[in-house]
Amino acid sequence: MKSKIALVFSVLIISASLSYAHPPSDIEISYSHENEMLSLKYVHVTNDRGKHYIRKVEILRTEGEPKKLYYVRQEQTKDIVKDIPIKLDAEEIITVKIFCKKGGISKKDFVVSEAEDQDEESNITGG
């Protein structure tokens, strides 16, 4: 009987910890050819910015090594904006992956637009 109670308790604890982990949402991506800057905007809600935060952002390219950025805390409690210096070519397709420390992962593909007078946002839905 004790082993069944322990098993049920363990399942409840694991389920609760998994439900706490959630990926970032509402990812927006834009690129400035003039500044060679990739801008990310996303939502990741947390009440404890030192324990539950976005730990890594990966930028995967068709060719070359991925760019990986690591973090040890989240500065904002909800809306996050990151500007990442990187040279990208027009029509290049990249994949951005964002990792929550508690286990949630989001990913979105992005097609870099042609350089124009004004920067434009161009997205492919990702998941």
Amino acid identity at 121: E
pLDDT of residue 33: 95
Q: Is residue 39 part of a domain?
A: yes
Greater model confidence, 107 or 48: 107
Residue 24 pLDDT more than 50?
A: yes
**CB-based contacts of 90, cutoff 8 Å, min separation 6:** 33, 112, 113, 114, 115
Q: By percentage, how much of the chain surpasses pLDDT 70?
A: 75
Q: Is residue 3 part of a domain?
A: no
Q: Is residue 117 part of a domain?
A: yes
What is the domain count for the chain?
1
Q: Is residue 64 part of a domain?
A: yes
pTM for this model (two decimals): 0.72
Query: Residue 88 is part of a domain; what is its CATH number?
Result: 2.60.40.730
pLDDT tens sequence across 91-119? 999 999 999 888 889 999 999 998 765 44
pLDDT of residue 115: 77
CA–CA–CA angle 95, 50, 107 (5° rounding): 15
Q: How many CB atoms lie within 10 A of CB 81?
A: 11
Report the run of H or E that residue 39 belongs to, with start and end. strand 37-43
- Mean pLDDT for all residues in the chain: 81
Of 5-14, 16-25, 36-45, 57-66, the one with minimum mean pLDDT is 5-14
Q: Is residue 112 part of a domain?
A: yes
pLDDT of residue 22: 79
